[in-house]
Amino acid sequence: MRLIAAVDKNWAIGKNGRLLVSIPEDMRLFQAETAGKTVIMGRKTMESLKGRGPLAGRTNIVLTRNQNYHASGAVICHSIEEACMEASKYSSDNVYVIGGGMVYRQMLKFCDVADITKIDYAYDADVYFPNLDESAEWIQAAASGEKTYFDMVYEFVRYVRK
């Protein structure tokens, strides 16, 4: 499995159920990487899609403890094991974990590749991603080099499990 996320310099990913920032090139990368594939997300991430429902052109797996949760067009799973079983129906290179914070932490151990947009700014945040730079299990395999969007500096970094 793979995961994809955008983090700030403190590995923060969100505040009050929303992304910290929207960078058009990052959004295009997300679309390109996940189009036609399977995405795994938590209920809060699903609900943050502002009523658009599941992401179009993808198989959407939503992880929730709520046994009564329903999202038309999505596969609902109630445990990590159930989500992994559902994801095993697809090529692992075509399954992306897309958030939120709890789902990233729980699913990280099943992932071999992490595509991270690193933003060189510290935002006020309440949700964090595990710092892969401090993990002995992950190494940087590729980096895009510095990019800018207005005065925001960021780069795309691919991490792989050792």
141: Cβ–Cβ under 8 A, 6 or more apart, which residues? 158, 159, 160
pLDDT of residue 102: 96
Strands 152-161 and 138-143: antiparallel
- The one-digit pLDDT tens for each residue of the chain (162 residues) are 999 999 999 999 999 999 999 999 999 999 999 999 999 999 999 998 876 779 999 999 999 999 999 999 999 999 999 999 999 999 999 999 999 999 999 999 999 999 999 999 999 999 999 999 999 999 999 999 999 999 999 999 999 999
pLDDT of residue 50: 72
Number of structural domains (the chain) is 1
What DSSP string runs through 138-157? EEEEEE---EEETTEEEEEE
pLDDT of residue 52: 73
The CATH code of the domain that includes 135 is: 3.40.430.10
Domain carrying residue 33: 2-161
**What is the Cα–Cα distance from 48 to 54, expressed in whole angstroms?**
11
pLDDT of residue 100: 94
Cα–Cα distances in Å, from 121 out to 55, 73, 125, 145, 158?
28, 36, 12, 16, 19
What DSSP string runs through 76-134? EESSHHHHHHHHTTS-GGGEEEEE-HHHHHHHGGG-SEEEEEEESS----SEE---GGG
- Length of the chain equals 162
pLDDT of residue 27: 96
pLDDT of residue 51: 65
| pTM of the predicted model over 0.75 | yes
What DSSP string runs through 7-33? E-TT-EEEETTEES---HHHHHHHHHH
